[in-house]
Amino acid sequence: MQSRTTLHSVDPSENRFRFFVVELWAPPIGKGAAVRKRWGRIGTEGRSETLYFDELAGAQHYAEVLLRRRRKRGYVDVAPSSWALLELEAETEARLQRIRRRLLRARDAEHVGAQPQATPVQLALELLAG
């Protein structure tokens, strides 16, 4: 079992563009479950935290409490079709930023005469792979 709920809090007049995602995972067989929450500014990777539970009921209750609290603060549900593209763009941009940083570090290491750990192409392929 897996479920995902995405909430947004957007107010351009206050420069507020926030997201909050709650994902609930439970194995098809056996016990236990996990709740992953992610939050941050729309367009960024944001932060995340994962909590593990012995029982599915405990995980479901925790997820419901998280969502209820955010909705009380003005967050609204987002349709899956609209948030999927935003999340893909944010993940792609975050990955590209990591690639740029590592490439710049490798270039700087070469510039000062240090031996780079990997070539820029190797770094890019490694980061694109995962």
> pLDDT band at 108, cuts 50/70/90?
confident
pLDDT score of 118 more than 80: no
The pLDDT tens digits for 43-97 are 898 999 999 999 889 999 999 999 999 999 999 998 764 445 555 556 666 776 7
Average pLDDT, rounded, for the chain: 80
CATH 2.20.140.10 for domain 2-78, yes or no, is: yes
Do the Cβ atoms of 58 and 33 come closer than 8 Å? yes
Structure tokens at 14: 């206050």
> pLDDT band at 99, cuts 50/70/90?
confident
Structure tokens at 110: 């070469």
CATH 2.20.140.10 residue ranges of the chain are 2-78
Per the model's pLDDT, the better-predicted residue between 115 and 104 turns out to be 104
CA distances for 116 relative to 94, 99, 130, angstroms: 23, 15, 21
